[in-house]
């Protein structure tokens, strides 16, 4: 079985077993949003995750009947037997390891934000992963992107997520994700300054409406174009440090 399908099956079991509690832990308001975001984040079809949830529903006490009129497939029974006795905390950590792109680092960040009572980490991270995967799946459908050689720059800290190379020329693409069809987006100062410098060679690729059906909008030269009106927001951040004396 493909790795993506195994992940989707395990996530389906988790969503079935813990139902709305699972949505709350991951930060989603609806199952549709969870299917869309998680599916893209792990490169699986959202419908697959929903189908797996429905297959496990007859086993767990929730409001759905699920696929109760047919026997459960062997692979589902094996997964059920392996994970059915896990408690919520243990099962949640396994799920996050499955869906986080860099689990060893992301789980530490998750725990720190949870301690500081910021409960949206999972949703923010997964929405970003989902938006990036959506871009990789769909960029070739954009006329002026299609011939470019894609380079992932998400870890380079260069002010954009992807570089599309066209010989001596390149386009810089910053990918943003938006829960609904409308809302606000932001640029870091590094992203804003890079967009200002690159002008027509800089794009924002906005993936939106995860709560229903994901789609996208593209903004070229976003700082100077008429479609977007960025306003500068300055915050005074309280810096906390911890010191120790040696000797």
Residue 45 inside a domain? The answer is yes
pLDDT of 116 reads: 62
Q: Do 117 and 167 reside in the same domain of the chain?
A: no
- Residue 178's DSSP bridge partners are 208
pLDDT of 118 reads: 53
Q: Do 112 and 15 reside in the same domain of the chain?
A: yes
Q: Do 122 and 151 reside in the same domain of the chain?
A: no
Residue 159 inside a domain? The answer is yes
Q: Do 85 and 188 reside in the same domain of the chain?
A: no
Spell out a b/e string for 187-215, using b for 16 or more CB atoms within 10 Å of the CB, else e: beeebbebbeebeebbbbbbbbbbbeebe
- Residue 177's DSSP bridge partners are 207
Low-confidence ranges of the chain (pLDDT < 70): 1, 115-119
- pTM of the entire predicted model: 0.88
Q: Do 167 and 85 reside in the same domain of the chain?
A: no
What is the DSSP secondary-structure string of 90-115?
HHHHHHHHHH-SSHHHHHHHHHHHHH
Number of domains in the chain: 2
Residue 238 inside a domain? The answer is no
What CATH number has the domain bearing residue 187?
3.40.1350
Single out the residue in 96, 127, 158 at which a domain terminates.
127
pLDDT of 24 reads: 93
Q: Do 7 and 122 reside in the same domain of the chain?
A: yes
Q: Do 79 and 30 reside in the same domain of the chain?
A: yes
Single out the residue in 78, 102, 127 at which a domain terminates.
127
Q: Do 118 and 148 reside in the same domain of the chain?
A: no
Residue 60 inside a domain? The answer is yes
Q: Which residues contact 211 (CB under 8 A, 6 or more apart)?
A: 29, 30, 32, 33, 36, 179, 180
What is the DSSP secondary-structure string of 12-64?
HHHHHHHHHHHHHHHT-SSHHHHHHHHHHHTT--HHHHHHHHHHHGGGS-SS-
Residue 230 inside a domain? The answer is no
pLDDT of 117 reads: 59
Give 1-49 pLDDT, tens digit per residue. 578 789 999 999 999 999 999 999 999 999 999 999 999 999 999 999 9
Per the structure, the complete domain to which residue 99 belongs is given by 3-127
Residue 136 inside a domain? The answer is no
Rounded to whole angstroms, how far apart are CA atoms 81 and 19? 19
Q: Do 123 and 146 reside in the same domain of the chain?
A: no
Residue 100 inside a domain? The answer is yes
Residue 237 inside a domain? The answer is no
- For residue 140, what are its two tokens? 């070739």
Q: Do 7 and 55 reside in the same domain of the chain?
A: yes
Q: Do 90 and 168 reside in the same domain of the chain?
A: no
């Amino acid at each position: 079985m493909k790795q993506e399908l195994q992940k989707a099956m395990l996530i389906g079991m988790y969503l079935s077993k813990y139902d709305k509690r699972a949505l709350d832990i991951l930060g989603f308001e609806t199952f549709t949003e969870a299917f869309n975001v998680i599916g893209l984040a792990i490169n699986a079809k959202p419908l697959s995750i929903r189908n797996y949830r429905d297959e496990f529903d007859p086993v767990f006490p929730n409001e759905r009947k699920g696929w109760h009129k047919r026997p459960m497939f062997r692979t589902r029974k094996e997964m059920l037997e392996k994970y059915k006795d896990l408690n919520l905390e243990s099962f949640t950590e396994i799920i996050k390891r499955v869906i986080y792109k860099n689990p060893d680092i992301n789980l530490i960040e998750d725990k720190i934000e949870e301690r500081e009572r910021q409960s949206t980490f999972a949703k923010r991270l997964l929405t970003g992963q989902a938006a990036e995967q959506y871009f990789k799946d769909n960029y070739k459908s954009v006329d002026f992107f299609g011939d470019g050689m894609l380079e992932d720059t998400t870890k380079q800290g260069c002010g954009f997520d992807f570089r599309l190379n066209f010989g001596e020329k390149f386009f810089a693409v910053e990918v943003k994700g938006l829960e609904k069809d409308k809302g606000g987006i932001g640029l870091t100062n590094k992203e804003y300054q890079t967009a200002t410098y690159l002008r027509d060679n800089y794009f924002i690729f906005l993936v939106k409406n995860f709560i229903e059906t994901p789609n996208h909008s593209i903004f070229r030269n976003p700082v100077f174009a008429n479609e977007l009106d960025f306003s500068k927001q300055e915050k005074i951040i309280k810096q906390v440090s911890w010191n120790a004396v040696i000797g």
